[in-house]
């Protein structure tokens, strides 16, 4: 039976398992794309670690492979982001210089000595698949529902639940929440979802990825704007700087976009203030628990935030922005106004943030967004970023 037939059988066997529905956003697929790795091909490499790049958006382990004739070749193989590795219990010390490893994975099409890591076997015999978990997926710490002053307890370290592939080696299937991965067969594609483009057996797995000419791996800001734009907004998009993929990967976002994704965030409730720290890029916001903004707000990328409690919901009102981008290629002007609502479901210990944003100069309608987070199993920490992914060959000029 061929690979496609096996995949079809898995799909049929899983029909109806997700009656409640499971949605993985296009953004998740984009982040977890396989780029130029040939996942339909297998490679096994054994060697000694020389360096570990424990960074976002993807970590890389460097190692020397010694051939039968004694010659050494330098290889580097890609792992998940530093954030998700840390949240899974992986550490840079596991890949200390001198550590013997064997990697099973797939080769990169454009860089001879690079690969995608599916499984790592360490010198002591320990075996870890790409999505292997070395710490519990859920935090077990008991939380008080309220602070001594009576306020709902929002304080703590929070993160979106990890998404992992139904194939723990990360070659086949699609992404599902970590808490539910055990309910699916290996490499399964739940009803209502599709395989990640580039996964084993998909058309993209046989077709090399190419970068747009002159884009450095994809220039500018990818994707459509999240809202309909006015003429002024369209002009702002045209004026956005052209950035390479690597630059986009590590560029600061906004108070809206940097909240979600993989990093761990922290909320601290103090006397008259609430501090919000973002794992991505380490941005820190102060919410002033006062009734009104000052008369003259100095514009900044994060704006000026004030907060109040409404029926156990922290409502944060932010104005005073310098022009920038809200999410992806969605521009905003200095007239941006963001309202966030933070609340904790005490039954599930889930932190919910609802966002409503408006920009009458650049947008024809408002922007809304909602994100839920669970208590993190690892503490908040600003995450390093350096996109070290090989650049795909440029597409031919037309």
CATH of domain 231-375: 2.40.128
pLDDT value at residue 18: 31
Report the share of the chain in percent with pLDDT over 90.
Answer: 73
Per-residue model confidence as pLDDT tens digits over 59-72: 999 999 999 999 99
**Which CATH topology does 34-129 take?**
OB fold (Dihydrolipoamide Acetyltransferase, E2P) (2.40.50)
Among the ranges given (176-190, 205-219, 261-275, 320-334), the one the predictor scored with the smallest mean pLDDT: 205-219
Among the ranges given (76-90, 206-220, 378-392), the one the predictor scored with the smallest mean pLDDT: 206-220
pLDDT-derived band of residue 346, with 50, 70 and 90 as boundaries? confident
- Domain boundaries of the chain, sorted by first residue: 34-129, 231-375
pLDDT value at residue 246: 82
pLDDT value at residue 36: 83
Classify residue 384 by its DSSP letter: P
pLDDT value at residue 157: 96
Contact present, 160 and 179 (Cβ < 8 Å): no
pLDDT-derived band of residue 397, with 50, 70 and 90 as boundaries? very low
Average pLDDT over residues 202-217: 62
Per-residue model confidence as pLDDT tens digits over 33-53: 687 899 999 999 999 999 999
Long-range contacts of 90-98 (CB under 8 A, 24+ apart): 90/128, 90/132, 90/134, 92/52, 92/54, 94/122, 95/49, 95/52, 95/61, 96/49, 96/52, 97/49, 97/50, 97/51, 98/48, 98/49
pTM: 0.87
Checking if the pLDDT of 214 tops 50, the result is no
Contact present, 139 and 87 (Cβ < 8 Å): no
Q: Mention every residue, 6+ apart, whose C-beta is less than 8 A from residue 340.
A: 315, 316, 318, 353, 354, 355
- Dihedrals phi, psi of 236, to nearest 5 degrees: -65, -40
Q: Which residue has the higher pLDDT, 27 or 45?
A: 45
């Amino acid at each position: 039976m061929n690979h496609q037939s096996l995949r079809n059988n898995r799909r049929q066997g899983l029909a109806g398992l997700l009656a409640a529905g499971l949605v993985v956003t296009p953004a998740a697929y984009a982040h977890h794309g396989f780029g130029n790795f040939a996942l339909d091909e297998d490679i096994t490499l054994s060697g000694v670690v020389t360096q570990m790049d424990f960074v976002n958006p993807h970590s890389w382990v460097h190692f020397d492979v010694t051939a039968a004739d004694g010659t050494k070749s330098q290889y580097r193989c890609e792992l998940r982001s530093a954030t998700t590795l840390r949240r899974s219990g992986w550490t840079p010390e596991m890949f200390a210089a001198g550590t013997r490893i064997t990697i099973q994975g797939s080769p990169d099409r454009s860089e001879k000595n690079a690969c995608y890591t599916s499984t790592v076997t360490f010198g002591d015999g320990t075996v870890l698949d790409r999505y292997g978990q070395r710490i519990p997926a859920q935090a077990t710490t008991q939380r008080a529902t309220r602070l001594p002053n009576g306020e709902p307890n929002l304080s703590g370290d929070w993160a979106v639940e990890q998404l992992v592939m139904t194939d723990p080696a990360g070659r086949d299937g699609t992404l599902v929440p970590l808490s539910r991965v055990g309910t699916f067969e290996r490499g399964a594609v739940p009803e209502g979802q599709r395989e990640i483009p580039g996964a084993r057996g998909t058309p993209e797995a046989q077709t090399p990825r190419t970068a747009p000419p002159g884009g450095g791996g994809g220039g500018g800001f990818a994707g459509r704007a999240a809202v309909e734009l006015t003429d002024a907004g369209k002009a702002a998009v045209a004026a956005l700087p052209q950035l390479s993929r690597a630059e986009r990967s590590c560029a600061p976002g906004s108070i809206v976009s940097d909240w979600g994704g993989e990093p761990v965030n922290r909320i601290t409730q103090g006397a008259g203030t609430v501090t919000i720290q973002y794992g991505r890029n380490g941005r820190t916001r102060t919410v002033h628990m006062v009734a009104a903004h000052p008369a003259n707000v100095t514009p900044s990328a994060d704006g000026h935030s004030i907060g109040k409690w409404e029926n156990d919901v922290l409502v944060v009102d932010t104005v005073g922005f310098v022009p920038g981008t809200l999410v992806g290629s969605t521009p905003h002007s200095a007239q941006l106004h963001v309202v966030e609502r933070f609340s904790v479901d005490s039954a599930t210990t889930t932190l919910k943030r609802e966002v409503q944003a408006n920009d009458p100069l650049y947008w024809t309608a408002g922007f809304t967004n909602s994100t839920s987070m669970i208590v993190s199993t690892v503490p908040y920490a600003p995450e390093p970023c350096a996109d070290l992914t090989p650049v795909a060959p440029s597409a031919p000029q037309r």
